[in-house]
Amino acid sequence: MVYLYKNTVASVFKPPSLLIFIDENQKGWCQQFSEEGYNVIHVAYKPFSPTVDLAKNVKEALHVLAEHDTDWGLIAYGLQSGDLPSIVAALSPKALQDLKACIHFCPNLVDGQEALLRYTSGLYIPSIFHLSSSQENFQASLAILSDPTALGYTLPTSAYHPITVHSYPKVPANPPFPFLMKAPALVTAGEKSSADPYIRSATGVSYTRTLELLKRALGPHYDFERLWERHTYYEFVERDAPKTMSTMVATPYVNHIATMTGGVGYEHLARFYKYHFTGENVTPPDTELITVSRTVGADRVIDEMIFKCTHTTENDYFLPGIKPTGKPLEIAVVGVVAFRGDKLTFEHIYWDQASVLVQLGLLDPTNLPVAGVEVARKVVDPFGLPSNTLMERWRESEGLSID
pLDDT in tens, 260-272: 999 999 999 999 9
Which CATH number do you get for residue 262? 3.10.450.50
pLDDT at 70 over 70: yes
How much is the pTM? 0.94
293 and 368 belong to one structural domain? yes
What value does the mean pLDDT of the chain take?
94
Domain holding 101, by residue range, is: 2-217
Q: Higher confidence at residue 279 or residue 321? A: 321
CB atoms within 10 A of CB 233: 15
What is the reported pLDDT for 235? Answer: 93
Question: Which of 217, 252, 286 is at the close of a domain?
Answer: 217
The last residue of one of the domains, among 189, 217, 245, is: 217
Last residue of a domain, one of 217, 237, 255: 217
> Residue 50: which pLDDT band, with cuts at 50, 70 and 90?
low
Write down the pLDDT at residue 309: 95
- Rounded to a whole number of angstroms, the CA Rg of the chain reads 25
Which residues, other chains included, contact 76 with Cβ-Cβ below 8 Å and sequence gap of 6+? 20, 21, 22, 45, 84, 102, 103, 104, 105, 107
Reported as a single tens digit per residue, the pLDDT across 119-162 is: 999 999 999 999 999 999 999 999 999 999 999 999 999 999 99
Predicted local confidence at residue 189, as pLDDT? 80
Asked whether residue 386 is assigned to any structural domain, the reply reads: no
Please, which pLDDT band fits residue 221 given cuts at 50, 70 and 90?
Answer: very high
Number of domains in the chain: 2
Residue 319 falls inside a structural domain: yes
Q: What is the mean pLDDT of residues 361-365?
A: 97
Share of the chain above pLDDT 70, in %: 99
Q: Are residues 199 and 51 in the same domain?
A: yes
Q: Are residues 68 and 88 in the same domain?
A: yes
> For residue 48, is pLDDT > 80?
no
- What b/e readout covers 161-184, taking b as 16+ CB neighbours within 10 angstroms? ebbbbebbeebebeebbbbbbbbb
Q: Let me know if residue 40 belongs to a domain.
A: yes
Number of CB atoms found within 10 A of residue 8's CB:
16
Cα distance between residue 8 and residue 192, in whole Å: 26
Report if residue 400 sits inside a domain.
no
Within a domain: residue 253? Answer: yes
pLDDT in tens, 229-261: 999 999 999 999 999 999 999 999 999 999 999
Same domain, residue pair 92 and 212: yes
213 with 228, same domain: the answer is: no
Residue 227 parent element (H or E): helix 224-236
Name the band, by pLDDT with cuts 50, 70 and 90, for residue 25. very high
pLDDT at 82: 85
Same domain, 266 and 368: yes
Looking at the fold, whether 195 and 274 belong to one and the same domain comes out as no
How large is the average pLDDT for residues 205-214? 98
CATH value at residue 34: 3.40.50
The better pLDDT of the pair 166, 90 is held by 166
Instruction: Examine residue 355 and state whether it is found in any structural domain, yes or no.
Output: yes
Report the DSSP beta bridge partners of residue 288.
308
pLDDT above 90: percentage of residues in the chain: 88
Same domain (yes/no): 150, 59: yes
Residue 392 lies in a domain: no
What's the Cα-to-Cα distance from 387 to each of 49, 198, 372, 375, rounded to whole Å?
62, 35, 14, 11
Same domain, 39 and 59: yes
Same domain? 80 vs 153 = yes
Kindly state the average pLDDT of the residues 339-355: 98
Same domain, 326 and 359: yes
| Statement to judge: residues 197 and 239 lie in one domain | no
- 403 is a domain residue: no
Identify the band that residue 49 occupies on the pLDDT scale cut at 50, 70 and 90: low
